Amino acid sequence: MDRVSLTRIMIPVTEFRQFSEQQPAFRVLKPWWDVFTEYLSVVMLMIGVFGCTLQVMQDKIICLPKTIQPSQNHSSLPNASHTIDTSTPLPPPPPSASPATVEMKGRKTDLDLQQYSFINQICYEKALHWYAKYFPYLVLIHTLIFMLCSNFWFKFPGSSSKIEHFISILGKCFDSPWTTRALSEVSGEDSEEKDNRKNTLQKASFPSQTPTDTTLVKSQSLKSIPEKFVVDKTSAGALDKKEGEQAKALFEKVKKFRMHVEEGDILYSMYVRQTVLKVLKFLIIIGYNSALVPKVQFTVSCDIDIQDMTGYKHFSCNHTMAHLFSKLSFCYLCFVSIYGLTCLYTLYWLFYRSLKEYSFEYVRQETGIDDIPDVKNDFAFLLHMIDQYDPLYSKRFAVFLSEVSENKLKQLNLNNEWTVDKLRQKLQMNAQNRLELPLIMLSGLPDTVFEITELQSLKLEIIQNVMIPATIAQLSNLQELSLHQCSVKIHSAALSFLKENLKILSVKFDDFRELPPWMYSLRNLEELYLYGSLGHDISRNITLESLRDLKNLKVLLLKSNIPKIPQAVVDVSSHLQKMYIHNNGTKLVMLNNLKKMVNLTELELVHCDLERIPHAIFSLLSLQELDLKENNLKSIEEIVSFQHLRKLTVLKLWHNSITYIPEHIKKLTSLERLTFSYNKIEVLPSHLFLCNKIRHLDLSFNDIRFIPPEIGVLQSLQYFSITSNKVESLPDELYFCKKLKTLKIGKNNLSILSPKIGNLAFLTFLEVKGNQFEVLPPELGDCRALKRSGFIVEDALFETLPSDIREQMKAE
């Protein structure tokens, strides 16, 4: 056979790559036994290919007839049908006269080349044992099945997608700069810090903690809680913004992948099944090969009835590759035995170890990141597999399972995004004239906040996982802290600072249990504002008993739905000066505890569904301001009892259903501010104006038709509003109140504005819109303090004023 034909016939091993080919990255999921068996498969594949190549290239069998048919030239033979064994040695040829003329002769069979070829083919098919014929093909097929079994879980759609996703995430986690940074931070931790951390964790494992302790970080070496830390500025540049965003995306991918993969065990089941199949295949191969290897013989007897075609029916054949195949079969059995034993070890490893659970205990101990969770099912199995390749992969991958690590990354990204200059641009003055920094809907609290040392008020809204670090002590001017729908934890050193410096705390919550327990220990706190729903069961079982430690508390606001005043509020009644209860329509009963608040100067009971003025209020001799807004008051006859409250100067009975003002109101001679707006009052009693100290009188949004002329008695009146009533005329005595600065008479039935309005020289705000005026008196020009911006009137009506007066008002 020529070289060209040989090249065409030979089968290169590379043609079989598709049976075992997988992505190079998948090597991390191939433990040593899979790699070893893969090499064994290559060797066995080479044996099969080599045998197949020889089978194609060389003659398979050579046969000779055992009997020879007599010819006419051999008349000495007994008869024509007598057979002669071909193994009988032929007589030596007669000597010849010259060596050059010697003729070599054997036993003639009278068979030509085509007949020999025919005999060889027939005997190969009929007489040669099937194992001797198909041995190389069997080796090839078995080896390909082994290859398919070893890599089937990489190809099966249900498992390959998870593996590809896992490998993709694993590679990114391994190469992420954040992984290197997170591990390098803990690698430099000294042994003393590790001991402190272990001791703290041991203490934390006991259930004897106080509620305040549960949100405090007691040691800076503690890495198991996300509330740590201000990111070190010296290393902050090691991770740029883009790398930080990529690492953040990795955390999300790992979370979703874990949630998806931990639901089932298809990868584990697939790997177990393919290993069991390989073991069964190994047992079958060893069984039948051990029995059939002796069938590969060099000499084969062939008895076939083809005498009519060849003249013979008994042949002796030589299997040309029997010796080689016999050796190859023994060699193949040895490799298969090693392969099978390796698969048995794999099965032992699969069933002896708990591969559906994976503990990161050694990683937690080595890295100090104590919150890395253990995983299960297919996620655990994948991690066990990569541990066989290199445990460093799971160690670096674990960084992205840690909430502590994620919070550190978020903190770093937050610091990069919110620089000190950017934060300073958000500074503003609040209603209390304090320099305030409002931060809304951030992923955390930037450490750069604590570099703004002039900050007086910090307002945080809708921010989860807020950690107040020890560096808050740098804010020496901080007095006010607002936490609106924020989950907050605080460092112990930071709490010590707040205990001494914080004066005002405002907390808005959705659940009572979200209240920070450490707020009860702020001993220098003066004002506490609580906004949130308190269910009846919670308010009864969970009380504010710790408020008694707030020795300096002076102002308390509860915007909730409490059915009664909590006992804890009564406990601080000795020093409480202002209390505001906004009850969102829930009926407030059992108000006798109010009598104990003897130092109360301001009281608001808003939207408490009160039908009468509580009698307990009349015992508050220090009370100066009372607000009963948005209740269900209809009659206020009890108002006569207010005469005992000598210090009462402000009374607000607005947004109720009051129909009349009793005459007893004249006894409230100390009143300076009186509000009856948004009621159903129709008549103003003249006795009202005997309260001659009134400076602010609001009667808007009622049904009043007439203003008594006694109003002129109120010489201190500065604010008067009758907006949205039914008044048809104003008494001239009103203009005797020369201190008036604000006059609201809009939306009434007035048709004439008296020229005497010019007597109000201090008037700065005038509302006349919504009446029936046709012209405005030019005497308005005498109100020098009145400007166009403070004059609420229709544009057409304003044009009725002389031009010089209009110009005067428009001039700022």
SS (H, E, C) 744-773: ECCCCCCCCCCHHHHHCCCCCEEECCCCCC
pLDDT at 106: 59
pLDDT at 812: 67
pLDDT at 547: 79
| pTM for the model | 0.68
Residue 19 is which amino acid? F
For residue 200 the two structure tokens come to 């703290």
pLDDT at 1 over 70: no
Hey, where are the domains in the chain? 633-811
Provide mean pLDDT across the span 716-732.
95
Residue with more model confidence, 184 or 615: 615
pLDDT band at 327 (very low <50, low <70, confident <90, very high): confident
The owner of tokens 């804010």 is 475
In the chain, what percentage of residues exceed pLDDT 70?
83
pLDDT at 666 over 50: yes
In the chain, what percentage of residues exceed pLDDT 90?
33
Residue with more model confidence, 135 or 446: 446
Rounded Cα–Cα distance for residues 556 and 791 (Å): 38
Among residues 671, 667, 673, the alpha carbon closest in space to that of 647 is found at 671
Provide mean pLDDT across the span 547-559.
88
pLDDT at 105: 59
pLDDT at 78 over 50: no
Looking at residue 621, what DSSP letter applies? T
pLDDT at 80 over 70: no
Provide mean pLDDT across the span 56-65.
74
- β partners of residue 489: 467
For the ranges 101-105, 299-303, 430-434, 450-454, the lowest mean pLDDT is seen at 101-105
pLDDT band at 601 (very low <50, low <70, confident <90, very high): very high
Which range, 103-107, 376-380, 585-589, 701-705, has the best average confidence (pLDDT)?
A: 701-705
pLDDT at 707: 94
Reported as a single tens digit per residue, the pLDDT across 481-493 is 999 988 888 999 9
Residue with more model confidence, 167 or 779: 779
Quick one: how far is CA 158 from the chain centroid? Answer: 26
- β partners of residue 391: none
The mean of the pLDDT values for the chain is 80
pLDDT at 737 over 60: yes
pLDDT band at 207 (very low <50, low <70, confident <90, very high): very low
pLDDT at 194 over 90: no
Beta strands in 357-419 (DSSP E): 357-358, 375-376
Rounded Cα–Cα distance for residues 665 and 556 (Å): 29
Among residues 66, 68, 89, the alpha carbon closest in space to that of 80 is found at 68
pLDDT at 704 over 90: yes
Rounded Cα–Cα distance for residues 359 and 336 (Å): 35
pLDDT at 714: 93
Q: How many CB atoms lie within 10 A of CB 125?
A: 13
Provide mean pLDDT across the span 711-738.
94
pLDDT at 674 over 80: yes
Rounded Cα–Cα distance for residues 713 and 733 (Å): 8
Reported as a single tens digit per residue, the pLDDT across 342-390 is 999 988 898 888 888 888 888 888 877 777 888 888 888 888 888 888 8
Residue 192 is which amino acid? E
Reported as a single tens digit per residue, the pLDDT across 256-265 is 888 888 888 8
pLDDT at 138: 85
Per the CB < 8 A criterion, the answer to whether 110 and 71 are in contact is: yes
Per the CB < 8 A criterion, the answer to whether 401 and 373 are in contact is: yes
pLDDT band at 132 (very low <50, low <70, confident <90, very high): confident
Looking at residue 450, what DSSP letter applies? G
For residue 180 the two structure tokens come to 């290197």
Buried b (16+ CB within 10 A) or exposed e, 430-469: eeeebbbbebeebebbbbbbbbbeebbbbbbeebebbbbb
pLDDT at 81 over 80: no
pLDDT at 446 over 60: yes
pLDDT at 16: 52
Radius of gyration of the chain measured on its C-alpha atoms: 51
Per the CB < 8 A criterion, the answer to whether 136 and 52 are in contact is: yes
Rounded Cα–Cα distance for residues 181 and 243 (Å): 12
The owner of tokens 């919670």 is 538
pLDDT at 13 over 60: no
Output the CA torsion 249→253→256→258 (10° steps). Answer: -130
pLDDT at 220: 36
Rounded Cα–Cα distance for residues 368 and 197 (Å): 8
Which range, 153-167, 299-313, 584-598, has the best average confidence (pLDDT)?
A: 584-598
pLDDT at 236 over 50: no
- Residue 236, classed as helix, strand or coil, is helix
Among residues 696, 698, 780, the alpha carbon closest in space to that of 739 is found at 696
Provide mean pLDDT across the span 421-436.
91
pLDDT band at 249 (very low <50, low <70, confident <90, very high): confident
pLDDT at 67: 60
